């Protein structure tokens, strides 16, 4: 059972900077993830919040709720949230960090991730496909 978490501003997918993030919506992304989960034989729960504390609580409780891995796009929190980093480090489940855009090809402040070092791996720049690849890594013993 996988938890797919999207952080701040990702509820605006489809409207927000479509040249960077594409024209598909968060709902499109979540339906895709559910479909990929069905293909991979795993149940998927998708959640999004603009609130750091809410994301922390979902991560903190994930193992207790029976999840086996987390796909996480932390949005801009990636670049500065030590609280998010600590929540990931304190959660024994594997977490794979995903970015839709290629953060290394963008502004300097996006090159740094304070969360990636406590994640099992990181995927960036492959659009929504990154979520699928993260789910594969979390269901095939890759993570």
110 carries a ligand binding annotation: yes
Q: Among this protein's residues, is 21 annotated catalytic? A: yes
User: Which stretch in 31-39, 93-101, 115-123, 132-140 sits in contact with ligand DQA by CB under 6 A?
Assistant: 93-101
Query: Site mask, ligand DQA, residues 3-32, x = CB under 6 A?
Result: ------x-----------------------
Q: Catalytic residue at 99?
A: yes
| Joined tokens for residue 94 | 């594997």
CB of 19 to ligand DQA, least distance (A): 12
Site for ligand DQA in 104-143 (CB under 6 A): 110
Who's near 37: CB < 8 A, 6+ residues apart? Answer: 2, 43, 44, 135
Residue with the two structure tokens 């952080």? 7
Local structure of residue 31 (DSSP, 8 states): H
83-122: b (≥16 Cβ within 10 Å) or e = ebbbbbeebebbbbbbbbbebeeeeeebeebbbbebbbbb
The CB density around residue 137, as the number of other CB atoms within 10 Å, is 18
User: 13 is written with which tokens?
Assistant: 């997918």
Is there binding between residue 71 and ligand DQA (CB under 6 A)?
A: no
Q: At its nearest, how many Å lie between ligand DQA and the CB of residue 9?
A: 5
Q: Which of 45, 49, 73, 81 binds ligand DQA (CB under 6 A)?
A: 73
Residues found near ligand DQA in the complex (CB under 6 A): 9, 73, 75-76, 78, 99-101, 103, 110
Known binding residues: 73, 79, 86, 100-101, 110
Q: Catalytic positions, please?
A: 21, 99
């Amino acid at each position: 059972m996988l938890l797919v978490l999207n952080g701040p501003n990702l509820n605006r997918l489809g409207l927000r900077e479509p040249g960077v993030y594409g024209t598909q919506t968060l709902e499109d992304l979540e339906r895709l993830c559910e479909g990929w989960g069905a293909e991979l034989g795993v149940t998927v729960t998708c959640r999004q919040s603009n609130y750091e504390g809410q994301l922390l609580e979902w991560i903190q409780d994930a193992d207790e709720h029976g999840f086996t891995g987390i796909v996480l796009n932390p949005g801009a929190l990636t670049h500065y949230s030590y609280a998010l980093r600590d929540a990931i480090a304190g959660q024994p489940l594997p977490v794979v960090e995903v970015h839709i855009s290629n953060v290394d090809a963008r502004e300097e402040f996006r090159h740094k991730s304070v969360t990636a070092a406590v994640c099992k791996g990181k995927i960036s720049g492959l659009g929504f496909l990154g979520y699928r690849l993260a789910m594969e890594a979390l269901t095939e013993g890759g993570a």
